[in-house]
Every structure is written in C-alpha cells, then in structure tokens.
Amino acid sequence: MSEVFEWMDEWGPEKIIVVHDTRTGMKGMVVIDNTARGPGKGGCRMDPNMTLLDCFRLARTMTWKWAMADIFLGGAKAGIRNDPKSPYKEEIIRAYVKKIRKFLPDEYVFGNDMGFAEKDGAIALDEAEDMKAAVGTPAELGGLPYDELGITGYGVVEAAECAAPYRSMELNKATVSIQGFGAVGAFTAKFMREKGSKVVAVSSLEGAIYDPQGLDVDRLLTLREKHGDKAVLKYGRGQQIPLGKELELEVDLLVPGATGDVITEKNMKNVKAKMIVEGANFPTTEVAQKYFYEKGILVVPDFVANAGAVMGAGKAMDNRYSCDILEPREVYETVKRKMWKNVAMVLEESKRGKRLPREVALSISQERVRKAMELRGRFPKTKKG
C-alpha cells in the first residue's frame, strides 16, 4: 500500500478505487488522476494481468493526452483484472459497473481499451442506466464505434504524415514496421497503405511477419476478421521473424502500437528506424527517448500521436444528445485538424528550443492543467508535508 502513496504528486491521483465481487470473481480498479479540466475519462482495459500501477500510469497519460488535445476532460483509467475471453464476460462487466456506479459519469466516463469493445460499452451503459456513462458504444446508442472507424490508427498516420518532413521523409514513399495488429495496429496499416506507404512488417501476440517488398495489407485485414491475432500466421507469405525483431528492422518509420515499455536501454541501440510514432502508450522508456534524440531519430510521443481516439471521443460527447448520428467524416476531419496542429506545434518548438518532443508536449499539457488547478484553488503555492 505504501507504494500507492509514492505515486501521489502535485498532479494526482485524486482517487484510487479497488473493487471485488466474490460471486463472479470480478477484480477491478479505477484511477481518477486529475479532474481540474473536467470529469475523468479514459478507456477500460480488461486484462487478467492488469495491475494498479498499470492503471495509474495509463490514467496519468490520459491527463496529459486530454490537455494536449485541449479537450476539457480529465485523466482517468479503469481496469478489470479478468480474462476478456471469459464466457462470463457480461456478468463480470455488470458486477464491475455496479461497484463503481456512484462515480459515473460525474467523476469517470467509460471508454474502450484492450479487451473492452463497443458491445462491452453498451453493457456498461445499460448497467449504469445513464447515457453519459460511456462513449465508444455502438452508434445506435449514440456512441462512437472506435473499432469500426479505426480512429486511433487514423490519428497515428496523420501524425506520421505531419512529422515526416522533419526527417526529410515523404510518407507515400516510406517503409513501415508496425508492432501490434489489434485495433490500433491494423488500422494504422490500413491508413498507411492508403497514403501509399509500404508496410513491410507487422506483429501480433502470435508472431511477426516481414516482407521487404511489402505486405498485402488488405489480405491481412481480411485474415484478421476471421482469425484475430493468428492472422499473421495464416498469411502464408513473406517470412516469419522472432517477436520483437519488427522493432529492429531497417525501415523509415516504426510504429509501436501494442503495449508499453517495449523499447528500453536493452534494445534501443538495435532500432534502425528514422522515425518512431508511438501508437501505444509509453512504448519507449525515458532513457531510450534521450538516446534516439541524440542519434537524430525523431520520436512523436504517445499522448500526442495516439490521441485520435480522445479527439473523437470529445466530439462524440459533444454530440451525445444530438438527434443526428455522428458522421465518420466529421470525426476524421476533427482528428486530422487537431493532430496536424498539435504535432506541428510540438515539433516546431522541439526544433527551436532543442528539446525532446516529449519534453515539449509534456510542458504544454502541464501548463494547461496547472492553470486549471490554480483557478480552482487546487494547486498548492507551497508544498506541505
């Protein structure tokens, strides 16, 4: 328990909630990090290995992500420590929502994450009995279907296109390696292909494939619909490479789009990409980011590059009580406009001030949160014990 108090700093977290249901075996958590700019909003991750530290780190990332996107919501994250493939998934989700219902939606609003999709958001919405308790639900319930639109992946590709000139690169001529072929990675591959990029490698939990001549992205996407993570094994072309090697290929652009802490001091010197656009949350460590900066490898940080979903969610929340179904075109346009503005702002200041892009982005987010906290009387002028 003492380590929880060590996480607490001037930014948060404000609340850490842990719940358990003995009948279903549900074990869950919510971390509400900072609500100075609005109620806590973040995805709910369902993973049997989810830890409270994971939840806190993700909630803090959401604090910076909302602020960087300049959307008036606060950082939060939810986690259910159960198997998302369980035949009792609905019962587990309902048990979880019952336990945290008093925090919905004034302090926390559901979103999607690994193991928690639109249909799960619909269940949460039903159990909460409040239409404002979740976004990322089916369009028929007024939500934004992230998985269908691939909004995070779309934002990653727009971030890459905006950043490419800073490395004298043209995205339509770039070779790309993508770690992860879930909701983020698969749509990153799709939109990269539409931009004219050559996707040469992708990976999933089941394996990784590489073809220097370029992968057939449409074939992989079709296989993903039928076989999920096993799509890379069913592809039958190119060559199988060990998991992790997709991070070390000689490509123009690398997109780590799966889990965190995959590029560290142990493997950072093996990375040969000219540019890294972080599709996952915190995929590169602080040491690795400094190393890449010194080597001239441009890193577009996670809470800038993968903020497409939060930009879309902000649009969906604005539209919650509209009589019209939110048009995908509106969402894509919003994401593109905001992404280009934010990436350019961060990279221009990074170039001018000779600072890491992550340091620049963090300073922008922190300043926005700080001002909100000061206006609300939440930020201490002097530290107290």
Q: Is 341 a catalytic residue?
A: no
- Work out the number of other CB atoms within 10 angstroms of the CB of residue 250: 12
Q: How far is CA 28 from CA 14, 87, 142, in A?
A: 17, 18, 26
CA–CA gap between residue 119 and residue 197 (Å, rounded): 33
Q: Which DSSP helix (H) or strand (E) runs through 79?
A: strand 74-80
- Work out the number of other CB atoms within 10 angstroms of the CB of residue 26: 23
Q: What is the DSSP-derived secondary structure letter of residue 164? A: G
Would you state the torsion angle of the CA atoms of residues 167, 332, 279, 226, taken in this order, to the nearest 10 degrees?
-130
- Work out the number of other CB atoms within 10 angstroms of the CB of residue 308: 31
Contacts of 125 (CB under 8 A, 6+ apart): 110, 131, 133, 134, 137, 141, 143
HSE-up (13 A, CA, CB side) for residue 46? 22
Read off φ and ψ for residue 175, nearest 5 degrees. -95, 140
Do 305 and 279 touch, CB atoms closer than 8 A?
Answer: yes
Exactly one of 77, 198, 315, 338 is catalytic; name it: 77
Active site residues per annotation: 77
